[in-house]
Amino acid sequence: MLILGIESTCDETAAALVADGHVVRSNIVATQVELHAKYRGVVPEIACRAHIENILPVIGESLSKAGVAPGDFSTVGAIAVAHRPGLIGSLLIGVTAAKTLAWALGKPLIGVDHVHAHLYSVVLESNRQPLMPAIGLVCSGGHTALYRVGHWLDVQLIGSTIDDAIGEAYDKVATVLGLGYPGGPILDTLAASGNPRAIRFPRTLLGRESLDFSFSGLKTAVLYHVRGVPRRGQNVKSLDFRPQPAGQQLHDIAASFQAACIDVIVEKLKRAARQTGAKSIIIGGGVSANKGLRAALSNFHVPVAFPPLQYCTDNAAMSAGLAHVYADAGRVSDLALDAIPYSQFAR
């Protein structure tokens, strides 16, 4: 079955056509990075307005790239949409477009969870199914969470960040270092030629068996390293601006920050695998593109699956793929489908 997927949970407007849950016929992503770059983070109102402008052209392009003739939807079996979690204004655009198409064309509508879809992205193109039960890690700009995945319809939250998401920490550290947005890919590249042991940044592991994450202390440690530690009662903004780190110093900070992030992730994955007896690890979300993380997990004691690079960040192919599993299980939505800003497992 060919499924049209629609994604608008945050700042990417995307549409894709995927056959049989893994054959990606088209995958169109209209990024809004330039609109948000000067604010160094996603501005919800700007995102929502850009989705309105982009959604129809993006869907149209995904159909034509997949060879679906204009006006002939006979080959499209269902319309899938990521309807949770995300920014409410952004979600509403994709959900409304999907409902309208499903109603007008008389096609089934399938609402999928965006975070579960990030995990499913490891199946795209290869159709290699991970061994289950698996530990799923979603690490992105909006989420850092661990799941026990019994199968694609049995996804249970077992740990999550208590403050910043890891991608958010990358983006904020990049800002402190005077680098561009989004910071993740820039720091990843700088880290490749830095010394990961140059600065000992903290590894926050919380309790001995905890599967939760915390990245705000690490982010602050980088800030203090660059600007100096404020004295009691002194606001960090008022600190004398030291010269921005440059050259090898910058590479070393990036590598040391990345090493701290990776050490925490590896330790949490070990704990989660031990506690649940997982047979494999699945990693999705923007930070799963990280070269250092991929290298660090290359010899993990159970197989680790990463998505092809183009499906790490937000896309609609992962939602269309997961919707195939939902459709097979009869998990079809109706026109009452709502945009829901929080995850099914919000704590």
Q: Interface with Zn ion includes 314 (CB under 5 A)? A: yes
**CB of 110 closer than 8 Å to CB of 248:** no
The stretches of 38-182 forming alpha helices (DSSP H) are 44-65, 88-105, 114-120, 166-176
Of 3 and 254, CB closest to ligand KG4: 254
Long-range contacts of 298-301 (CB under 8 A, 24+ apart): 300/266, 300/269, 301/273
**Which residue is listed with tokens 């497992």?**
345
Neighbours of 50 (CB within 10 A): 22
Q: Which stretch binds ligand KG4 (CB under 6 A): 51-59, 91-99, 244-252, 287-295?
A: 287-295
Question: Could you tell which of ligand KG4, Zn ion, none binds residue 307, using a CB distance below 5 to 8 A set by kind?
Answer: none
Work out whether strand 154-160 and strand 144-151 pair parallel, antiparallel, or are unpaired. antiparallel
Q: What track of x and - describes contact with ligand KG4 for positions 307 through 336 (by CB under 6 A)? A: ------xx----------------------
In this chain, which of 94, 133, 142, 307 binds ligand KG4, going by CB under 6 A? 142
Instruction: Enumerate residues 6+ apart whose C-beta is below 8 A from 48.
Output: 87, 89, 90, 92, 93
Question: Could you tell which of Zn ion, ligand KG4, none binds residue 287, using a CB distance below 5 to 8 A set by kind?
Answer: ligand KG4
In this chain, which of 60, 77, 108, 185 binds ligand KG4, going by CB under 6 A? 185
Q: Interface with Zn ion includes 171 (CB under 5 A)? A: no
In this chain, which of 184, 196, 307, 321 binds ligand KG4, going by CB under 6 A? 184
In this chain, which of 85, 167, 196, 321 binds ligand KG4, going by CB under 6 A? 167
Q: Interface with ligand KG4 includes 13 (CB under 6 A)? A: no
Q: Which stretch binds Zn ion (CB under 5 A): 125-133, 135-143, 217-225, 317-325?
A: 135-143
Q: Which two tokens stand for residue 225?
A: 């390293």
Residue type, 82: A
Helix (H, G, I), strand (E, B) or coil at 22: coil
Q: Which two tokens stand for residue 272?
A: 């989660």
Binding site for ligand KG4 (CB under 6 A): 10, 140-142, 167, 170-171, 182-185, 188, 285-287, 289-290, 313-314
Binding site for Zn ion (CB under 5 A): 140, 314
